[in-house]
Structure 1
Amino acid sequence: MTGVVLYGINNIFSVRAEGRIFECRIKGKKLRDRDDYNVITAGDHVEIQADMNDPRKASILAVSARQNALMRWNKKRLSRQIVAANLDRVLCVASLGVPPFRPRFVDRVIVAAESEAIPCSIVVNKVDVATGDDVKQRIRVYRELGYAVFETSCLTGEGIDHVRDSTATGVTAMFGQSGAGKSSLIRLLVAGAEPRIGEVSEKYERGRHTTNVSAMWERDDGSCVIDTPGVRELDISHLEPSVVGAAFREFLAPATRCEFSPCTHRHEPECGVRDAVARGEIHPDRYESYLRILVEREESQGLSRRTQWTPTR
């Protein structure tokens, strides 16, 4: 029978199939021998075989082909880590105050989503905290680029209904920095959900990791929300430069004027993207964000000579 993975811990997975929840383990070596850090994640569709001796348990025989997957590069294991699969949208959860709004983190989430053709929106949480004009200006840039931006407060309830409406169908992955309020948002969006709530380290203005695994929460209307582990940084070194550039949507039109193809938009002469930056048509910090992603990828290449992966659509 076919089921959907709700979460997995230590290679034991909770799978919903035919209206029941099964405790599942992987059967055989075929799945375990894959190169990815994890072979199964929340949102995966799997084939399972019920245990004849225990109706609560089953074995996972196969993972169905994914529609898409939200992924990151695992520096320790030098491999792709699949965060969530088969998504209809990604919500990048950022915050004002502590931790502070970090546009370059948001940029990386957008690239990770758009590289898999997953629509991405931005949730700016803790709007009850005062913020500066520079942050407001960056939020305005995202809106001008066509990204939906939801401004929310878990304390006052501001904006929660808009997020609830935007996630009323399909499967949504919530991805964000530790301490940004992602799990608190899920508690407001999903009745009965009890993700772990974390504190924020005031010394470093960073959140502490409290959600350790991706977990799918089902709502009464049939939609699902996946709570993903909070992170301090997002490494997307598994993506080719051409894929990264294509995910900066304001680069697409200027890139058609580049003399060279492919063009990394770094040092090549007659580069349409660099010309657009010089004319003020592309925000300079967005361009700097793109460059930093490429530099990090090059540094990662020095640690691993694995073949880099280009997504297929």
Structure 2
Amino acid sequence: MNNGIIVKGIGGFYYVDTGDRIFECRARGKFRKEKVIPLVGDRVKITIQESSGQGVIEEIEQRETELIRPPVANINNAVIVFAIQKPEPSISLLNRFLILAETQEIDITICFNKIDLLQDQELSDLMGIYEKIGYSVIGTSTKQGIGLKDLSQKLMDKITVFAGPSGVGKSSLLNAIQPNLRLQTGEVSSKIERGKHTTRHVELLQLDFGGWVLDTPGFSSLSLDFIGEDELQYFFKEFNEFVGMCKFNACRHLSEPDCAIKKAVEENQICQSRYESYMQLLEEILQTRRY
């Protein structure tokens, strides 16, 4: 059998890179019976049918990580891309992406793109919110060639999910880093300030300088209802030093008295917008549980 990695999956066919070439493969029926769906990023063992040259996925190695959206396996790095303008960044959606990545305990970098469109002070204030929490933050501009070297270093020798809403410039950034990728790019609608979906499927792309990157379809919303109501607080990194200091052990940091998290917000130790995202997500999780 040959070892490889699934780099793309479309319509029941999986494309497996063995290092020498990419084979179009089907998965054994046993996976359907076991309710296991092969994912892009899976390390697999395949057999090759001499008559057709196609492959069959025989085994899927144990996954180190597994994201639900986008559905990918064995990612160890995440670059979350948001534009500074065109479209305007949704801080709520950015926080959702961060929480999703935190659930997998992978390295996270926030990339604010199109920084040529914003004044330096406004950019510094926005980046500072996340740098204070402890996130790695970089600013990029494909038009001015800013930050591309820093971004390349974040991708080197890692398997990275490159995620964010449509229209923020994910494909343009990857094309700037490695032009031979020739990824399709789209303009932002002037009427609705929303990007067009140019990436149709999840695909793992090999980088010349080492590593793999997933250019994923953009999302305008992101559900996190798989997270438990008591777990959510632990995925907000800046909450950690205050968790356990509340008057009540089961404090949800909403309307309870003597809440250490709410006090930290009042004292600007926790950013108000981050706390608002926490409250919004918790309410969504609780609402889902009611039904």
- TM-score normalised by structure 1 residue count: 0.86
Structure 2 counterpart SS, 1:237? coil
Distance 1:269 1:51 in 2: 67
Equivalent position to 1:87, from 58, 68, 75: 75
Quote how far apart the aligned CAs of 1:131 are.
4.7
Give the letter for the 1:53 counterpart: S
Distance 2:252 2:123 in 1: 28
Q: Which residue of 1 aligns with 2:154?
A: 166
The question of whether the paired residues in 2 share the 8 Å contact of 1:115 and 1:243 is answered with: no
Pairing 1:91-240 to 2, within 5 Å after superposition: 91-131=79-119, 136-240=124-228
Q: Which residue of 2 aligns with 1:54?
A: 52
Give the letter for the 1:273 counterpart: I
Pairing 1:235-246 to 2, within 5 Å after superposition: 235-246=223-234
Structure 1 runs not aligned, ≥5 long: 73-81, 304-313
Q: Which residue of 2 aligns with 1:298?
A: 286
Q: Which residue of 2 aligns with 1:306?
A: none
The question of whether the paired residues in 1 share the 8 Å contact of 2:101 and 2:108 is answered with: yes
Distance 2:120 2:47 in 1: 55
The question of whether the paired residues in 1 share the 8 Å contact of 2:229 and 2:286 is answered with: no
Structure 2 counterpart SS, 1:265? coil
Distance 2:286 2:39 in 1: 28
Structure 1 counterpart SS, 2:224? coil
Relative to structure 1, the CA distance from residue 137 to residue 222 in structure 2 (aligned partners, 3 Å threshold; closer, same or farther) is: closer
Relative to structure 1, the CA distance from residue 150 to residue 135 in structure 2 (aligned partners, 3 Å threshold; closer, same or farther) is: closer
Distance 1:241 1:54 in 2: 51
Q: Which residue of 1 aligns with 2:6?
A: 5
Quote how far apart the aligned CAs of 1:132 are.
8.5
User: Percent of pairs identical after alignment?
Assistant: 30
Give the letter for the 2:129 counterpart: V
Distance 1:49 1:134 in 2: 55
Quote how far apart the aligned CAs of 1:101 are.
1.8
Give the letter for the 1:62 counterpart: E
Distance 1:45 1:265 in 2: 41
Structure 2 runs not aligned, ≥5 long: none
Q: CA RMSD in A?
A: 2.0
Question: Per-residue CA shift, 1:45-81, capped at 9, x if unaligned?
Answer: 12222223222x1112332221112333xxxxxxxxx
Q: Which residue of 2 aligns with 1:268?
A: 256
